[in-house]
Amino acid sequence: MQDDSHLMSIALDEARRAAERGEVPVGAVVVETTSGRILATAGNRTEALADPTAHAEILALRAAARTRGRPRLPDCTLVVTLEPCAMCAAAISFARIERLVFGATDPKGGAVLHGPRFYEQPTCHHRPEVAYGTGAEDASALLQAFFRARRGSERTQRRPSPEALEKDL
């Protein structure tokens, strides 16, 4: 079995590659819990695929399920750099993931510790074991740098205010 820190470093590499592609830097790894064999890795690809569901977790779960030839992954761990959203939390439950490890918490969009707290709902059929905090500082720093750069480029591309346009008339 590989330790969470090593697997998180792989997920962080996927997140960095996502950022280089202009995607929100989130990365994920699916691994067999007992053997440590990596089944899939992925980074966000929502922009590249023009697919709002192409989150790192979803892509990694799909690839791991294809590798296994079945939709359930009950003896697997999913390691992801950011707390999963509601869509990803549901997919993790549907895949019957044994263990979920995430780095940074997400008070705005997360659905495990925040928001709907998906696994605490009575309608949730499967609840993975949850661990968080591994690699949180690195994951947070990647996200903050990405959005800081994005906000900076948006500011330089903003249209002039109506007042500024009136001065030119």
Residues annotated catalytic, as ranges: 57
Cα–Cα separations (whole angstroms), residue 109 to 37, 89, 116: 30, 11, 10
Burial of 70-80, coded b for 16+ CB within 10 Å and e otherwise, reads eeebeebbbbb
Distance CA 28, CA 1 (A): 17
CB-CB contact of 82 with 101 (8 Å): no
R_g of the chain computed on alpha carbons: 18
Task: Yes or no: say if 28 and 44 are a contact pair by the CB < 8 Å rule.
Answer: no
